C-alpha cells in the first residue's frame, strides 16, 4: 500500500513537471519575451519600443498584475486574444501582436502557455500608447482589417503528410510565427501569402530578413536538414557566420530550447516549401 501511494505520488510529480516543461517550451518557441520583456527589465512587464513601417508599438505588460497586467483575465479572455486578436471587451488588436500566427496553436499548447504565464511574478507597470502614423492610429480600422485578412481557426494537420512534417508545419506557422518576419507584407500590413517565406526587406528594427525557402540562390536550398538544425540550436550558419539581429533572440530564447525532434521537424517542413523569390 505504502509503495503504491509513493508510486502514485511520483507519477503526479512527473506529470506536473511535464506540463511545466511543456509550458516553458511553448513559451520559448512563441517568443513572447522577445517583445514583452524590455532589455534588463522584469519578465513580461512591457517590452522595448517595436519600430515598424506603420509606427512604434509599445508591447504591454502581460504579467498577472491585476491593475496594469492581465491578472483579471480568464482563460477564455486569453484564448480570444490569441485566436481572434481581441481584447476582453472586444477591441481588436494590431497584428504587430502576431495572433495572425498564434491562432493556429492547439488548445493543449494554449493551456500550457496560460499556466506558464500565471506563474510569472506580477509587476506593476502601466501601458504606453503606441505612436502610429495616420491612418494606422485609428484602431476602429482593425475591424475591417480582421474581416479581410484574419482567419482565427487552429492548425489542421495535413493527412497526406507524416507526423514530422505536420509537427514542423505547426511549429513554424503557429507558435514559431516564422512567417511574420520572413514574409513580405502588402499595403495594409498583411502577409503576402504568394511569397510566404520569400524574405522581407522591411523587417523588424529595419532589418532585411532573408528568404528561407529552398531556392538554391537566394534561399536556403543548399542547406541540409542537419545544417538547419545546427543553426536553430547554436546560431551558426554553414559558412561559419553567426545569426544576428532579431534572429539571435529567436534562437537564444526560442529554438535553442527545443528538443532535437522539434528542430528536425522545422527543418523538414522548410525543405518541403516551394522555392519562392
Smaller CB distance to ligand HEC: residue 112 or 247?
Answer: 247
Between 34 and 166, whose beta carbon lies closer to ligand HEC?
34
Site membership for ligand HEC, residue 180 (CB under 6 A): yes
Nearest to ligand HEC of 12, 224 (CB atom): 224
Is 159 near ligand HEC (CB under 6 A)? no
Q: Which three-class secondary structure string do you get for 215-265? A: CCCCCCCCCCHHHHHHHHHHCECCCCCECCHHHHHHHHHHHHHCCHHHHHH
Q: Quick one: which of 28, 35, 45, 268 contacts ligand HEC (CB under 6 A)?
A: 35
- What 8-state DSSP symbol labels residue 57? E
236 pairs with which residues across the strands? Answer: 242
Query: Which of 112, 181, 198, 268 forms a contact with ligand HEC (CB under 6 A)?
Result: 181
In terms of CB distance, is 161 or 249 closer to ligand HEC? 249
Q: How far is the CB of 275 from ligand HEC (least distance, A)?
A: 13
Cis link prior to 135 (omega < 30° from 0)? yes
Q: Strands (DSSP E) along 97-239, which ranges?
A: 131-132
Q: Rounded to the nearest 5°, which phi and psi values hold at 26? A: -65, -45
Q: Which of positions 205-234 make contact with ligand HEC (CB under 6 A)? A: 207, 209-210, 212, 220, 228, 231
Other C-beta atoms lying within 10 Å of the C-beta of residue 39: 6
Assess 123 for contact with ligand HEC (CB under 6 A).
no
For cell 499595403, the residue is 187
Q: Of the candidates 28, 38, 45, 70, which one interacts with ligand HEC according to CB under 6 A? A: 70
Nearer to ligand HEC, 6 or 131 (CB): 131
In the complex with ligand HEC, the residue whose CB is nearer, 36 or 83, is 36
- 29: helix, strand or coil: helix
Q: Does 62 bind ligand HEC (CB under 6 A)?
A: yes
Asked whether 44 and 33 are in contact (CB, 8 A), the reply is yes
Sequential DSSP letters for 72-102? T--HHHHHHHHHH-B-TTSPBPPTTS-HHHH
Name the residues that contact ligand HEC, by CB under 6 A: 30-32, 34-36, 50, 57, 59-60, 62, 70, 81, 87, 93-94, 96-98, 102, 172, 176-178, 180-182, 203-204, 207, 209-210, 212, 220, 228, 231, 237, 243-247, 250, 255, 266
Amino acid at each position: 500500500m505504502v509503495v503504491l501511494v509513493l508510486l502514485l505520488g511520483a507519477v503526479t510529480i512527473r506529470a506536473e513537471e511535464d506540463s511545466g516543461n511543456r509550458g516553458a517550451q511553448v513559451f520559448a518557441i512563441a517568443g513572447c519575451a522577445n517583445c514583452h520583456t524590455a532589455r534588463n527589465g522584469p519578465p513580461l512587464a512591457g517590452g522595448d519600443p517595436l519600430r515598424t513601417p506603420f509606427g512604434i508599438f509599445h508591447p504591454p505588460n502581460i504579467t498577472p498584475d491585476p491593475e496594469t497586467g492581465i491578472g483579471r483575465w480568464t482563460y477564455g479572455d486569453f484564448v480570444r486574444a490569441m485566436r481572434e486578436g481581441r481584447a476582453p471587451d472586444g477591441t481588436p488588436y494590431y497584428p504587430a501582436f502576431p495572433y495572425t500566427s498564434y491562432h493556429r496553436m492547439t488548445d493543449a499548447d494554449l493551456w500550457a502557455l496560460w499556466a506558464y504565464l500565471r506563474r510569472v511574478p506580477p509587476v506593476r507597470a502601466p501601458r504606453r500608447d503606441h505612436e502610429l502614423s495616420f491612418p494606422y492610429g485609428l484602431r476602429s480600422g482593425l475591424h475591417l482589417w480582421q474581416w479581410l485578412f484574419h482567419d482565427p481557426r487552429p492548425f489542421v494537420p495535413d493527412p497526406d503528410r507524416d507526423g514530422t512534417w505536420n509537427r514542423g508545419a505547426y511549429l513554424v506557422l503557429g507558435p514559431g510565427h516564422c512567417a511574420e518576419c520572413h514574409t513580405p507584407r502588402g499595403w495594409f500590413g498583411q502577409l503576402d501569402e504568394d511569397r510566404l517565406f520569400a524574405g522581407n526587406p522591411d523587417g523588424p528594427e529595419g532589418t532585411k530578413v532573408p528568404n528561407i525557402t529552398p531556392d538554391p540562390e537566394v534561399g536556403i536550398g543548399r542547406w541540409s536538414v542537419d545544417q538547419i538544425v545546427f543553426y536553430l540550436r547554436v546560431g551558426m550558419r554553414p559558412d561559419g557566420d553567426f545569426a544576428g539581429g532579431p534572429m539571435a533572440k529567436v534562437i537564444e530564447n526560442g529554438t535553442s530550447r527545443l528538443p532535437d525532434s522539434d528542430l528536425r521537424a522545422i527543418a523538414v517542413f522548410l525543405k518541403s516549401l516551394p522555392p519562392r523569390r
